[in-house]
Structure formats: C-alpha cells, structure tokens
Chain A
C-alpha cells in the first residue's frame, strides 16, 4: 500500500514552530500572560483597581518614592474578593475586606479581584501587583539574570 508523505522544509517548520511559540506566549493561548497592576494613591486618597483572579502575585510598594514592605502581604486574588492595603503611621498592611468597603468603592465583580489602597498616610503610596505568565518562563527561573 502506498502512503502519501507530507513533509515541510526545515525553514518552514522552524517558521511555524517559532510563530506558534510567539502566539502561545503573545496571545496568552495557555493563559492570560504576565499581569501588572499598579495603584497610585496620593496622601489621604482611596484608589482601587480590578485584577484577574490569580494566585502567585508578587507585591512591591513605595511610600513617598521609598521602597516599603507590605505587612501580611496577600498574594492570592479570587473572583469577587476585595483586598485592602492600608497605609497608616507610615506602615502598609494588607487584609481581605470582611466588612463594608470604603465609601466610593464598589464591590469586585465575580470574575475579578479588586485591590483597594486606602492611604491614611501623609505621603503618596504606590502598590504594584505582578504575576509572571501562565507558562512559567523560564522554568524554575533559570536564565533569570
């Protein structure tokens, strides 16, 4: 029995494979890709932003441009939850909202989490939540320079 054999040249094979990898990473075919959410709040202000419900966020923050740590950092956001980061007496603390949200802030929708920065300090606060891609490139953080 004769079989028809379909073969691609190495050039086309490489082009297709390369474009598939670019599409998988670029279009987030296997996930939403890396996410960055930054919330800036001036002194006395309350600001909020919605974010995808993901775990494994890394958090960085500044008070008046100086790097600051967030006490009790929460790195998981599920749909419909509100995560509050409060600045008081020059310190940042995070917790999930269990009671009413601050005035002017609506509840998070079911398909998104919400990060709310309540700045009770007398300096500007900036909080950044980041995730890497769905496919963890590089694996085990190799080639991370």
Chain B
C-alpha cells in the first residue's frame, strides 16, 4: 500500500488548475454546440421550417457525451471534473429565464389562449402526476415529467427540476424524450388537422396545446398556415407563462410535503432552509419583466444569455452522464410520457375545438 502525502497548498493550486482547464474546455464545447445548432437551424430553414425543432439541449448532451468518452479514454476526466457544475449553471440560467416570463404577456394573449392554457396545464399536469404515481415513479421525476408534458417541454422540465432538486439523469431523460416526441408530432399533427378539416384557429390552438416544444409548435403551425401559426404561438406563450407559478408551487410542495421528515412539522425556518432560493431570483426577475422593466430587445439578449448557460449545463450533463443511472430509470418514465402525450393530444383537440371553434 502506498501513502501519498501532499501539501494543502499544492492540492489547492492543482484544484484551481483543474478548474481553469475544465472551464476552458466547457466554454469551447459550448461554442461548438452553438455552431452545430446554427448548422442544424440552417438546414431546417432550407427545408422551409422556420425554427430548429432539434433544440440545442439535445445537441449539447450529445457533444457532452462525446467529450465524456474522449476524456475517459484518455484518462483526463479528473482534470475537468471540478468545472462540471451542472446544477449551478442550470440555476443561474433559470434566474435569467424569469425575464421571458411576463405576466403582461399572459393578459395580452387573449381570453381564449389563457383559458385553454389554464385548463390544459392544470388537467394534464395532474393526470401525468397521477399516472406517474400509478407506475411508481420517484416524486422528483413525476414533477419534471408532469411539468414537461403540461407546460412547454424543455424550459418547464429544467425549471421544475431545479425547483424539486431532481437528479441530472432525470432532466436528461425527460428533455431527450420531449425533443424526440415533439419532432414526429410536428410533422404528423398538420396532416391530421387537415384530415379532421380543422379551421386554422382550432388547429393552431391544438398544436399549441399538445406539442411540447415551442419550436415544434411554431413549425407545425407554419406547415398548416399563417393563422394557425399565430394561434399556436399565442396558446404556447400562455402556457409558458405558467412555468413560474408551477415552479414556485412545486418548490413549496416539495419542501413542505415530499422532503419533510417523519413526524416533522414544517416550521417557517425549515421551509426557508430547504426552499431552493434561486426560485426567488427567478420570481424577482419575472416580476421585473411583468412591470415592463425590460424592453423586447433586452429580453431577446437575456434569452440568448440563458440559452448559453443552459447549453453549458447540458454539455455538463453529457460529460457527467452515467449509462447505469439512465438504465435504472427503466421503461416506466417512457410509458408515462407517451401515455400523458396521448391524453394531452386528445384533450387539447377537444379543448381547442370548444374554445376556438365554439366559444370564441
């Protein structure tokens, strides 16, 4: 047995060096993700699809996975490990994401979009939560899954994961499912709407209510027609605005109910200790956006900022990825996601028809 002794200063300086090397590598990989993402977006634009339906988190995870393999093969993984701070990056991105969640947008989207969003998010969230419970999924995974299906895919999954302190593997699993399921829906929903002879508004509201990623919603709307695209975007926007309420509610629920110890009374002190504080930053920025503190140009800049940080976080998820952890999740989350998507699709069709075809 060998015993190595190292001076504390030497260890500290090595940690800093590793932090520096890791940070530089992560920045380089994130720029690579953005370049690849731009190439993919250009490809889709060439096919007449205005927004890239293969959203950047998927690209980032794949780039991270490749880096993971190379680092392990070359036995250099430990050099970059100190800079891989996935949760920290996700939380920073979520605080900035608040700038995009303005309550003013919710009121501006019109009564029809608001009513549909409230019904869809409420019903689909609790259905997915219930289904996840029936199949005995962990509470954190149920929360991420229910938010992803009921609200708006990737952003909602990330926000919910932060609020309930879900595992990285759970976020990866769900965001990958969101993107992979949204893609065929984007292509299939417009011809289905044509076959059902849906008016533009009803079809748009259906796409907005049932497809999980914003890019795929806009893509489906574009394929169906200009009016459908506009309505789809409005309905999706209304749902997106609800992210803040859901994240805050989940954070509170997990602190007071799920993570409460046996026989423990949730005192104000304990709630405060366990509450994910960054949610307050997210709410503060969202309130600033709601009172019009940011111009649309500034919101665009902040959107770019959080996309960069989320891309960095997803590269880290790829680098940190463990096949064993993902396998342990099994088939149940997939079954819940697909079951909830079918329910979401049918419910959205009915609600869109009643609200946009009959009431408004």
Contacts and interface: CB of A to CB of B under 8 A. Distances in A.
Interface of A: 9-15, 17-19, 21-22, 25-26, 33-36, 132-133, 135, 137-145
A35 to B, nearest CB: 8
B277 A12 contact: yes
Interface stretch (B105-113, B187-195, B261-269, B296-304): B296-304
B298 A34 contact: yes
Given A33-B298, A36-B297, A143-B34, 10 more contacts: A11-B278, A14-B88, A19-B95, A19-B284, A21-B305, A22-B95, A22-B96, A22-B98, A34-B295, A143-B56
Given A36-B297, A143-B38, A14 B281 contact: yes
Contacts, number: 110
A10 B37 contact: no
A135 B304 CA distance: 11
Given A21-B305, A145-B52, A14 B34 contact: no
A26 to B, nearest CB: 6
A26 B305 CA distance: 12
A142 B281 contact: no
Nearest to B37: A143
B219 to A, nearest CB: 11
Given A22-B99, A137-B301, A10 B31 contact: no
Contacts of A36: 297
B96 A11 contact: no
11 contacts: A15-B95, A15-B280, A18-B91, A22-B285, A25-B298, A26-B288, A36-B297, A133-B301, A138-B304, A139-B34, A143-B56
B307 A143 contact: yes
B91 A11 contact: yes
Interface string B50-64: 011000100000000
Contacts of B38: 141-144
Contacts of B278: 11-12, 14-15, 18
Contacts of B35: 142
A26 B302 contact: yes
B41 interface: yes
Of the four ranges (under 10, 10 to 19, 20 to 34, 35 or more), the interface on chain B belongs to 35 or more
B337 interface: no
B92 A18 contact: yes
B301 A33 contact: yes
B34 A26 contact: no
B89 to A, nearest CB: 8
Interface string B308-319: 100100000000
Interface of B: 31, 34-35, 37-38, 41, 51-52, 56, 85, 87-88, 91-96, 98-99, 215, 276-278, 280-282, 284-285, 288, 293-295, 297-298, 300-302, 304-305, 307-308, 311
B305 A139 contact: no
A10 B301 contact: no
B56 A14 contact: no
Contacts of A12: 277-278
A37 to B, nearest CB: 12
A21 B305 CA distance: 8
Nearest to B97: A18
Contact of A14 (B51, B91, B293): B91
Nearest to A141: B38
B34 A142 contact: yes
A10 B285 contact: no
A38 to B, nearest CB: 13
A17 to B, nearest CB: 5
A138 B87 contact: no
A65 B288 CA distance: 34
Contacts of A18: 91-96, 278, 281-282, 285
B290 to A, nearest CB: 14
A102 B162 CA distance: 59
A93 to B, nearest CB: 28
A28 B315 CA distance: 29
B254 to A, nearest CB: 14
B305 A137 contact: yes
B88 A10 contact: yes
Contacts of A143: 34, 37-38, 56, 304, 307-308, 311
Contacts of A139: 31, 34
B96 to A, nearest CB: 5
